[in-house]
Homo-oligomer: A and B are copies of this chain.
């Protein structure tokens, strides 16, 4: 009997009525002749509620204890869902990450899966049960609870699908698929039927929130086809899988954006070996995640280095720069209100002129480009935050991504 792995996000189980709804979906999947493993997130905002309690007792809670705390949310979801399935006359069993055999390293709050011991999962499936796995969590070699970081339940589902050699992994969320742009900004945005792992990775990295980067990497590594869809409708979702002939050969598949970038420019940095290493080493020490980096050509022995960080990381970045800029004798500028707009498309590789069309489109819309970065299937431009929505709309129209009219 084929094994299907499903993942239900927090909004899909935000109250007991929705839990019953999910139970019905799972039972229908089993009735259709599948062995079903469902990975479940914590109910609605319950994780944020637990975090609030943690910060009431401690400004800087130990990460091991945060994992003990936060992992309870998913246990509540799976237990309630098991009860709901029993109420529908089927047999289900809830498993914690530990019981499901999800082994991780000991990097609390950001653990990585190191292996999955499938013995119990397979035993429970073969005894005819629906298996419900608490998402976002595993167990360390020290037998402590670990969590996998934001979006960890997606990773749990993909890892289980890979370990169980499941035919597919369904990711149920509050949107019904991956769109050509954020429909809140572009009302004419179109749902995409299928994208390649590579495109989805670029989309996740440039602002699409529907899937977390790491779960897509995992799916690509193990060749697990993902189907992103809504738990509130029966509409078909978006497939994320190996690039193949059947995919739309669009030059550009989607426009993505973020509006929480900050840009820092180091002025007249001495142009000698080791400077960049000093700057970005200092930033790494402050745990600042640097996104885009641009270094211009040298003039008179100095150069300017610009880079972007997530806006919440700006204070830490300034701290790192202040610590080193005195020694190096350089000043820096801050652009606090920046955003980024990107176009992504596997077809871009074989069509020249895509980047030029993007720049022209932005220019015609009166939007100044501050920084540019490209990959073989992506072009990203850092722009003023206030212009992000206009840029997304202009690019979506220029590349003709909207619904057929």
CA distance A83 to B124 in the complex (A): 36
Contact with B along A53-94 (1 / 0, CB 8 A): 110111101101110110110011011101110110000011
**Interface flag for A50 (CB, 8 Å):** yes
Instruction: Give the residue of B57, B71, B96 whose beta carbon is less than 8 angstroms from that of A80.
Output: B57
Instruction: Give the residue of B19, B50, B94 whose beta carbon is less than 8 angstroms from that of A76.
Output: B50
**Interface flag for A143 (CB, 8 Å):** yes
Q: In whole Å, how far is A140's beta carbon from the nearest beta carbon of chain B?
A: 11
Q: In whole Å, how far is A46's beta carbon from the nearest beta carbon of chain B?
A: 10
- Asked if residues B83 and A72 are in contact (CB atoms below 8 Å), the reply is no
Q: Which A31-69 residues have C-beta < 8 A from chain B?
A: 50, 53-54, 56-59, 61-62, 64-66, 68-69
Question: Which residues of chain B are within 8 angstroms of A71 by Cβ–Cβ distance?
Answer: 75
Instruction: Give the residue of B54, B94, B145 whose beta carbon is less than 8 angstroms from that of A83.
Output: B54
Q: Which residue of B lies closest to A81 (CB)?
A: B57
**Interface flag for A217 (CB, 8 Å):** no
Q: In whole Å, how far is A85's beta carbon from the nearest beta carbon of chain B?
A: 9
**Interface flag for A144 (CB, 8 Å):** yes
Contact with B along A4-45 (1 / 0, CB 8 A): 000000000000100110010000000000000000000000
Q: In whole Å, how far is A198's beta carbon from the nearest beta carbon of chain B?
A: 39
- Asked if residues A20 and B64 are in contact (CB atoms below 8 Å), the reply is no
Q: Which residue of B lies closest to A20 (CB)?
A: B57
- Asked if residues A83 and B65 are in contact (CB atoms below 8 Å), the reply is yes
**Interface flag for A99 (CB, 8 Å):** yes
Question: Which residues of chain B are within 8 angstroms of A96 by Cβ–Cβ distance?
Answer: 68, 145
Question: Which residues of chain B are within 8 angstroms of A66 by Cβ–Cβ distance?
Answer: 79, 83
Q: Which residue of B lies closest to A68 (CB)?
A: B79
- Asked if residues B72 and A84 are in contact (CB atoms below 8 Å), the reply is no
Question: Which residues of chain B are within 8 angstroms of A84 by Cβ–Cβ distance?
Answer: 57-58
- Asked if residues A87 and B20 are in contact (CB atoms below 8 Å), the reply is no
Instruction: Give the residue of B59, B78, B87 whose beta carbon is less than 8 angstroms from that of A58.
Output: B87
Contact with B along A105-133 (1 / 0, CB 8 A): 00000000000000010000000000000
CA distance A86 to B65 in the complex (A): 10
Contact with B along A372-397 (1 / 0, CB 8 A): 00000000000000000000000000
Task: Give 6 nearest A-B pairs by CB, closest first.
Answer: A69-B79, A16-B56, A72-B72, A68-B79, A58-B83, A61-B83
